[in-house]
Amino acid sequence: MTAERGALPLTIRPTVTRVVLLSTGLAVWGVLTLIAVLLPAGGAVAWGLGDRLAVSGSGLLVFAMLALLSRPRLSADDDGVTVVNLTTVRRLAWPEIVRVTLRPGDPWVTLDLADGSVLPVMAIQPGVSRRQALADAKTLRSLADTLGSAEDPAEGPAGSSAT
């Protein structure tokens, strides 16, 4: 199966993982905010406004961390791909991608790049939906083969002389 240019632009993200993480974050924040509101104002231990804000803020911090974990995505267009992982964003032209790899047991797809480095694509995760991850990896591989013309980094640039 070959990918066609009509499939572009394309965005891939782990939807189930994203829904679970964001809903869990909202639930934790909501529960901790409710607890902060219901804490007793008087009695043996008095909970002041600062204490209540700290409890609710802890829930907000949990939500923010889970939102960060739900960030990965891959966007592809005619010019290349943008890989968004937890804290990094990297734009690649199609010729920079030498190989798209997803081996059994890998947590996500990796891209072998023309400069010899490897870039993880956390947006394609077989842990939750192996079938979808395999389909996304095949689509990305097909697009890289069709739109990219990267050479093997071991061979060096075409027409260059070794000195």
Q: Are residues 142 and 83 in the same domain?
A: yes
Q: Tell me which residue of 29, 35, 28 sits closest to 52, measured CA to CA.
A: 35
Let me know if residue 160 belongs to a domain: no
Where on the phi/psi map is residue 147: left (φ > 0), alpha (ψ -120 to 50), or beta?
Answer: alpha
For residue 90, is pLDDT > 90? yes
Report the share of the chain in percent with pLDDT over 90. 69
- Cis (ω within 30 of 0) for the bond into 9? yes
Q: Are residues 129 and 95 in the same domain?
A: yes
Q: Rounded mean pLDDT of 155-159?
A: 44
Tally of domains within the chain? 2
Question: Domain limits at 51?
Answer: 15-69
Structure tokens at 135: 């389909």
Q: Are residues 136 and 87 in the same domain?
A: yes
- pLDDT tens across 64-89, in order? 999 999 999 999 999 999 999 999 99
Report the share of the chain in percent with pLDDT over 70. 87
CA R_g for the chain: 22
DSSP β-bridge partners for residue 82: 75, 91
- pLDDT tens across 19-51, in order? 999 999 999 999 999 999 998 887 777 888 999
Q: Are residues 64 and 78 in the same domain?
A: no
Let me know if residue 163 belongs to a domain: no
- Rounded to the nearest integer, the mean pLDDT of the chain is 87
